[in-house]
Amino acid sequence: MTLFLAVMTVGIALTMSLSLFRLLRGPTLWDRLSGLGLIGTKTIVLLLLIGRVTGREDIFVDITLSYTLITFIGSLALAKYFEGKETGQA
């Protein structure tokens, strides 16, 4: 079971590189924001898997909940900021 979780952790880390490519090379701003959201959700799952592999789920769940709130609020703030810039409003 630990080997399976370790393989899943490596697999998710590798798929994060695809999201990073979308973040860096996205043709539009909304593609880049989408890549940022994908990296955020994959990081949440990665943290939970690392917690399960190390046997310290309690600490990693707390860290994951905090990171989830920060990611959600940050994504909303960035979307609102860039929406105002695109339409010409401040």
**pLDDT, tens digit, for every residue of 37-55?**
899 999 999 999 889 888 8
Task: Pull the structure tokens for residue 77.
Answer: 């703030």
* DSSP conformation class of 24: H
Number of neighbours of residue 61 by Cβ within 10 angstroms: 13
Please state the domain count of the chain: 1
Task: Pull the structure tokens for residue 82.
Answer: 């860039």
| 54, HSE (Cβ side, Cα atoms, 13 Å) | 12
The range of the structural domain enclosing residue 16 comes to 2-87
Tens of pLDDT, residues 59-85 = 999 999 999 999 889 888 888 888 777
CA 23 to chain centroid: 11
pTM: 0.77
